[in-house]
Amino acid sequence: MTSATEFENVGNQPPYSRINARWDGPDDELDNDNSSARLFERSRIKALADEREVVQKKTFTKWANSHLVHVSCRITDLYKDLRDGRMLIKLLEVLSGEMLVKPLPWALWLVLGPLCRKDTAWDLSTSHNLQ
């Protein structure tokens, strides 16, 4: 049977104080014994993260192309095609239904174009609460 003093001692310990005790030990013994297992685990996590990034890139590209089909545009490489801002502006115009950029003369467009496109995309995305 349990005595009253044993109950008093149990009350002094914080609840679940040793729940993570197996993770509190030194990592040296784990590194020596399971270094190949840890290396495999890390490489597997990296591979899964890379795979997820590829899937997300492909999914977003298909989604953007489904909207850009209305203006006869197509994204082939997401990072390259959105880098200068032209496709991004077209996508935002299709999504918002607004004309965003007024055409500039050709020479002025070469100088100011990248700045105008990025500022316009940022202004539109913040004004329409796009994230």
Average pLDDT over residues 98-118: 60
3-state helix, strand, coil in the chain (%, to 5): 75, 0, 25
Question: Where do the structural domains in the chain lie, given as residue ranges?
Answer: 32-127
Is CATH 1.10.418.10 the classification given to domain 32-127?
Answer: yes
Question: 38-96, pLDDT tens digit by residue?
Answer: 899 999 999 999 999 999 999 999 999 999 998 988 999 988 988 877 888 888 889 88
Which residues, 6+ apart, have CB-to-CB distance to 119 below 8 Å?
none
pTM: 0.51
Question: 75-89, pLDDT tens digit by residue?
Answer: 999 889 888 778 888
C-alpha–C-alpha distance, residues 26 and 53, integer Å: 34
Backbone angles phi, psi at 76, to 5 degrees: -100, -50
